[in-house]
Chain A
Amino acid sequence: MPPTHWQLFWGMQQVALSSFGGGLSAWSERIVVEDKAWMSKQEFITGLTVARLFPGPNQINMAIYIGSHFRGPGGALAALAGILLLPFSVLMGFGLAYYYLHTTMVMDRLLAGVITASAGMALSMGFKIGAAYLNDRVALLLAAISFVAMTVFHVRLVPLVLVAGPLAMAWYWPRKP
């Protein structure tokens, strides 16, 4: 019996709630595969592959995948609402607090510190996925070109992807053995 729209909504809400403080991906698997047994581990991993491949935040894509897997577009909407509602409401609360208070001296001092930590987190994003490409020279060259284009020549993301993307796809097009 596939989950209903309401079950999808509450299930994803549970994922979002459990993951306050981090680890969205692990929680989503634990709840969807282990607790609720909606999907097998294999099905879940397939979903994660699709979610990572397509544009959009991975965990939000995963919720959309789970929703549409069981209930089509309506299910996707239910799951999406479930995963977004709480975190986005909290974020909006933080946002209002920020825009009202950021000019106060205390907040200014604290934020001056916090942004050095978040800058470190931003810097770690590239290193995190970089290890997978160390043995592929073409991939490293592509990455270097993309980096230099954006950093040195201020090329914007959309033209970069539209030019480099098809070239890279031509190179990686599967060849018949």
Chain B
Amino acid sequence: MTPLLAAACQPAHLGDWRNLIAVIWDFLSLSLFSLGGGNTLLAEYHYMAVDQYCWLSSQQFAEIYAIAEGAPGPSSMIVGLLGMGAAFEEGPLWALLSGVLAEVAILLPSTLLMVIAALSWNRFKTSPFRLAFERAMGPITLGVLFAVGLKILRISDHDTPAYAVSAVVCFLMLRTKISPLWFMAVAAGLGGMGLVNR
């Protein structure tokens, strides 16, 4: 069974430099909005990759999210996989280059800001702006993370067994310190045996 690709819109090709600039600009400008460690941006990435530029189907997005979660390093490196998907038709070298460029673009602004923050922290450690910012962004991040979680749940799960597995994993993530890789391995087994379907 080959996965059905959503062919609703034409994939934006990066060979056209205007597309390339637009994409790099999108990542650059999202960078400073990656609150709470970057996972708040997942819904934006989905919008970009699936609805706006049509690089991936919703199902593929769910799959590369799983890969980013399972791979070492922060899951926000999913941006590298998005870049790769955007240029995969052009061949593996372009895919790699595009993956690296996307990651550089998403990290560049937040890195610059972080360097400034690290070097001048003592000066604005106690400023009211910092205190207000810290307290204000927490609750917004909370709401956004729930929205993002629900979005990924919706694009990943389509029947009751799938929702049941997700619910169990969610519970175990919160209550135990078992490595998430085990959950993914067991779930892969369930998929392999045909117990969960798309």
Evaluate contact between A99 and B95: CB separation under 8 angstroms.
yes
Interface-lining segment among A2-10, A30-38, A169-177: A169-177
Shortest CB-to-CB span from A117 to chain B, Å, is 4
Evaluate contact between A58 and B114: CB separation under 8 angstroms.
no
Evaluate contact between B113 and A122: CB separation under 8 angstroms.
no
Name the residue among B62, B81, B142, B152 with the largest chain A CB count within 10 angstroms.
B142
Evaluate contact between B60 and A102: CB separation under 8 angstroms.
yes
Instruction: Choose among B37, B119, B151 the residue that contacts A58 (Cβ–Cβ < 8 A).
Output: B37
Q: Which residues of B contact A45 (CB under 8 A)?
A: none
Mark contacts of B145-171 with chain A using CB atoms, 8 A cut-off: 1 yes-contact digit, 0 otherwise.
Answer: 111111111001100001101111110
Docked Cα-Cα span, A92 to B81, in Å, equals: 7
Of all chain A residues, the one with the shortest Cβ separation from B99 is: A92
Shortest CB-to-CB span from B6 to chain A, Å, is 14
Shortest CB-to-CB span from A131 to chain B, Å, is 9
Name the residue among B33, B72, B113 with the largest chain A CB count within 10 angstroms.
B72
> How many inter-chain residue pairs (CB < 8 Å) link A and B?
357
Q: Which residues of A contact B29 (CB under 8 A)?
A: 158
Evaluate contact between B33 and A55: CB separation under 8 angstroms.
yes
Shortest CB-to-CB span from A85 to chain B, Å, is 10
Mark contacts of B88-114 with chain A using CB atoms, 8 A cut-off: 1 yes-contact digit, 0 otherwise.
Answer: 100010011001100100010111011
Shortest CB-to-CB span from A177 to chain B, Å, is 13
- We find that the number of chain B residues with CB closer than 8 angstroms to chain A is 114
Question: Counting CB contacts under 8 A, is A1 at the interface?
Answer: no
Q: What is the predominant secondary structure among interface residues of chain B facing chain A?
A: helix
With A99-B88, A117-B66, A173-B132 as given contacts, are A90 and B3 in contact (CB-CB < 8 Å)?
Answer: no
Q: What is the predominant secondary structure among interface residues of chain A facing chain B?
A: helix
Evaluate contact between A113 and B187: CB separation under 8 angstroms.
yes
Evaluate contact between B80 and A95: CB separation under 8 angstroms.
yes
Instruction: Choose among B3, B63, B128 the residue that contacts A174 (Cβ–Cβ < 8 A).
Output: B128
Mark contacts of A113-143 with chain B using CB atoms, 8 A cut-off: 1 yes-contact digit, 0 otherwise.
Answer: 1111111111111111110110010111011
Question: Counting CB contacts under 8 A, is B67 at the interface?
Answer: yes
Docked Cα-Cα span, A27 to B95, in Å, equals: 32
Evaluate contact between B72 and A128: CB separation under 8 angstroms.
no
Evaluate contact between B103 and A139: CB separation under 8 angstroms.
no
Evaluate contact between B73 and A102: CB separation under 8 angstroms.
no
With A53-B134, A123-B150, A124-B149 as given contacts, are A24 and B74 in contact (CB-CB < 8 Å)?
Answer: yes
Question: Counting CB contacts under 8 A, is B135 at the interface?
Answer: yes
Q: Which residues of B contact A22 (CB under 8 A)?
A: 179-181
Shortest CB-to-CB span from A83 to chain B, Å, is 8
Of all chain A residues, the one with the shortest Cβ separation from B59 is: A115
Instruction: Choose among B74, B138, B156 the residue that contacts A132 (Cβ–Cβ < 8 A).
Output: B138
